[in-house]
Structure 1
Amino acid sequence: MSRILLIVGGGIAAYKACELIRLLRRRGHAVRCVLTEGGSHFVTPMSLAALSEDKVYTSLWDLKDEAEMGHIQLSREADLLVVAPASADLLARMAGGQAGDLATTVLLATDKPVLVAPAMNVRMWQHAATVRNVATLRSDGVKVMEPDEGAMACGEFGPGRLPEPLAIADAIEAALKPQAQLPTRPLAGRHVLVTAGPTHEPIDPVRYIANRSSGRQGFAIAGALARLGARVTLVAGPVDLPTPVGVTRVDVETGGQMAEAVDTALPADVAVMVAAVADWRVDPAAQKIKKGAGEPALRLLPNPDILAGLAAGPRRPRLLIGFAAETERVVEHATAKRVRKGVDWIVANDVSGDVMGGGANTVHILTADGVEDWPRLPKDEVAARLAQRIAEALT
């Protein structure tokens, strides 16, 4: 049984903490809660205490608790600290190392791993200050989940929703699993090439062929590899995402440009080809195609097969990993793709749901030794696990 200290921040999403506690207790974990002042406007200590079957802590100035240095005890007795929901304000105070209330004092005093599930307005999540604060926390070793995308209480739509309690519970269990003992920076001295995002293949000056890839999984993988010490080159299609800390980014638009950027980035010890390159391109019209000119006929031309070319080329990385986005018979199609492309691993996922653009993913790792099925996890957890597997393979 693991001991989890759940810090409930402010925001309407605080009500989901109740379901999270129920899930964790059902899975056999002990849960103790710290409720912030903001969180107390949305849930009560009584509710959390009833569900956790433990005392709820709310104040740094409780005479009885602090006579025994309660904030130190709370921070050290848990196996994992979880902040859910984490508001933009709480993220900022964590990144700044502040200790003005019980929650931030506990977080600053802990020597245990910390998992954070953010929840806020989409514009707050995408603000440069929040992007900077999240990057700081991740570089400090805090696991920050990607928020879900969807409609919000404020009426806006976009990334910023608290991940569903089931996804948070899965991320908690993944964080609690013992990892293989590796050096702190096992990929130091290694060069890893990562591609991410879609490509845009122009039809005319205002239209293009593309797909729904958000780039979030590829960017998360690039950041996870950099945190393990790798020198990472990220070749990114047209996406609006912040560059992960410690990553060198090369922006491209078309599949042809991505192929050139990949070739320029070689040699590499590892290549993780996450990008969803458009299979087809056209010779674009010089001017905008008008509706009144009749039905346009587009002659589709094949884009370069970057993955197969890299596998067959003279500068093939030692470990070459491709991705397979499928909508049916996922493992079957991905198995055939691994052989056809000549790669070492294929990471397969079913994209018939909300994977493209969403915050979670269910993947299957296909190697020469067989298939490994992973549970549905936040994309940053998928990235961390994959980076760990790559480090193990190289060491």
Structure 2
Amino acid sequence: MTLTADRSTPGADRVPAPRPRSGRRLTALGLFWIVTRLTAVVGILLSGQNAWQEVAGYQHWADTMLTGTFPTADTTWQYPPGSALIMLLPYLSPLGTYVQIFILMTVVVDGLVTLALIRTGPATRPLAPAWIWTAGIPVLFGLPYTRYDIFPTACAVLALLLVHRRPTAAGVIAGTGISLKAWPALLLIAAPGRTWRSALAVAAGVCLTAAALLHNALGFLTSQAGRGVEYESVGGSLLLAARHLGYTGHIEKRYGSYEIVGPHVAAVADASLAASALAACWLIRWRRRTRGSAAPAADAALTATLLFVVTSRVISPQYLIWLLGLVAVCAASRTTTQRPVIVLVLACLPLTALEFPIFVNQALAGQAPVIAILLLRNLLLVTAALWSCHRLRTHPGPPSR
């Protein structure tokens, strides 16, 4: 399957033949990828269980699935039925432990994303999208290789690279991503009708098949509904900072994350839900307004995802993996409206890494310097979301053909 597209889509203006020195640049990219990935994996494996305890949790859930049911009475279970595809896959390998195979799977998927981005770079800077992804991932240390999120992110990246040239195939890939984690549904905001239909059909098919094979397929919805305000979210970080002004709330581990517990939390949670609803209304209005034009699917997906992230009650560090994949796809198009937003998102990566994993204990203790880092990161995310909306609204796509 060829990842090429017309001039208005990511990868449309990729270089048809090698340019001078392109071989050396590609070699440099490849060497950087190998060194950083090898360093990350070795570091994870040598650090012990603290580095891969999330993967051990996936193994526990996979063991439960082998008994014929998704996890029950487990408030940390928050994954759609398609997640069984990923979590059970390591057991198909006769070699290595579950943890080792899972980490190997993430590295392989990382490599596939890199190769796809190499093939779709713009003519002026053909390796820029691949460099954004390749250099951005190690900034988050071992996180991308010990979390599930790289799999739906890969689906999102591949779907967006194909959406205008192979809309049905893009929908199949997007639907797979939706069945793994719900957020890739945001990709469909500017997708063609064939992409919509195939994505929903695949997502529904995967989920129904999993539901037929395993009990409690919709149990994840209960845990999602019960989540509170995580301290890393926009609202949560403000409450955390307010502790230095006399606020009496504290942090507790609930639903698999560290949430703020105390006065005004319910109001902040309600405000987050209201903001999400307003963001959805804005996106719907924008889409109606641009009907009849070739809306930039990658740009719209980045805007929608940023709005979802900043209005969510939870901002986990792995959400930055989603955003990194989307900005890399946006960079693959010379007509993208999101260049300033790409810079802001990339600036959020080191700030996120400082808060987690480097100073996570200090953050949980509410120490002022780390709270300042978290507030700055969230300010950049909010700025990126608003700027993304502005750029998307004021730079409409060309008329559809």
TM interval, shorter chain, is: under 0.3
Greater CA radius of gyration, 1 or 2? 1
Instruction: Report the TM-score when normalising by structure 1.
Output: 0.24
Higher share of residues assigned helix: 2
TM-score (structure 2 length as normaliser): 0.24
